[in-house]
Amino acid sequence: MELTTVWFGLIAVLWAGYFLLEGFDFGVGVLLPVLGRTQRQRRVLINTIGPVWDGNEVWLLVAGGATFAAFPEWYATLFSGFYLPLLVILLALIVRGVAFEYRGKVDSAVWRRRWDACIFVGSLVPALLWGVAFGNIVRGVRLDADHEYVGSFVDLLNPYALLGGATTLALFTLHGAVFLALKTDGEIRVRAGALATRLGLAAIALAGGFLCWTQWVRADLAGAALSVAAALALVGGVSAARVRREGWAFVGTAAAIVLATWALFTTLFPDVLPSTITAANSLTVHNASATPYTLKIMTWVAVCFTPVVLVYQAWTYWVFRRRLRVEDIPQAAPDEPARASG
């Protein structure tokens, strides 16, 4: 197997890992004003992701770095053509990170409400725009012979891409509700489980429509098989949530996100960014890749350090595996920064 194919597959794995882990972070942020009816309840919601949210974002950094090193032409075209939406995503992630750290710096209800609003917006915007971005990547954009994007920002807001954005927003919100039902106890657990059931119906409809449209845009047998597996996993996860089997529900939504991401990448291969002008202008794993020597060095680095990262992150989740309750939050204590909360 060629190293270009190997690295395309590794980048697919990195994005799937990012959407799996950061997906429930986004979901918790979106649900903060819905399930966090009191200050102590909002503290519980934030504390569920407090020890892990910044570690989950490492997957995005590695995915971006791997794309830059393995497929520099793809990286350059993607970040120049999608500059505005990617900038908005970056700003939203920055605002959300700052909000986690600063909401507890002043013991003021107004201060906390403003930063909670930043957490909500900083979670909703990336959850939506990542779907829009990947919808355009799979569908294709206007690339000229020099592999430069010659379309407009409005071209990126096509119906297929917008459906992709609605799908990722619904999936991540559902994933967040299931995660909260798994990580909390008491009233929040009950309400999160009930909300997951309702959100599941919308997520199934949107994801099913998007994956079917994807196969109509770029028919691919392997991608279709992965799409069917993702749909079954999602239905199974929602069914488990209905009977309050939170562990299996989380496995179901997690598998659905991973399989759906792999389905998109499988359908895309061997292109990395198709051109809607002519297929000759498309970027592929071959004309967008780095030199074989670069890919070989990167492969050895990945083999050495990836297991270390996976073991450390698994250990982090094991340490913070306990369910959280409102009773764990002191009644009169001021908020602590998210990073320090357990």
DSSP annotation string for 65-124: HHHHHH-HHHHHHHHHHTHHHHHHHHHHHHHHHHHHHHTTSS--HHHHHHHHHHHHHHHH
CB 237 within 8 A of CB 251: yes
pLDDT band at 1 (very low <50, low <70, confident <90, very high): low
Smallest Cα–Cα separation from 22: which of 144, 249, 176? 176
Under 8 Å between Cβ of 305 and 319: no
DSSP helix, strand, coil percent of the chain (3-state; round to 5): 75, 5, 20
Indicate the residue type of 176. G
Distance between CA atoms of residues 164 and 131, nearest Å? 5
Are residues 27 and 170 in contact, defined by beta-carbon separation less than 8 angstroms? no
Mean pLDDT is lowest, of 104-118, 178-192, 258-272, 322-336, for 322-336
Q: Is 136 a residue whose pLDDT tops 60? A: yes
- CA geometry: angle at 160 spanning 157 and 163, to 5°? 90
Element (H, E) at 283: strand 283-284
Q: What does the pLDDT average to over 84-99?
A: 94
pTM: 0.92
Stretch (H or E) spanning 272? strand 271-273
* Average per-residue pLDDT for the chain: 91
What's the confidence (pLDDT) of residue 340? 39
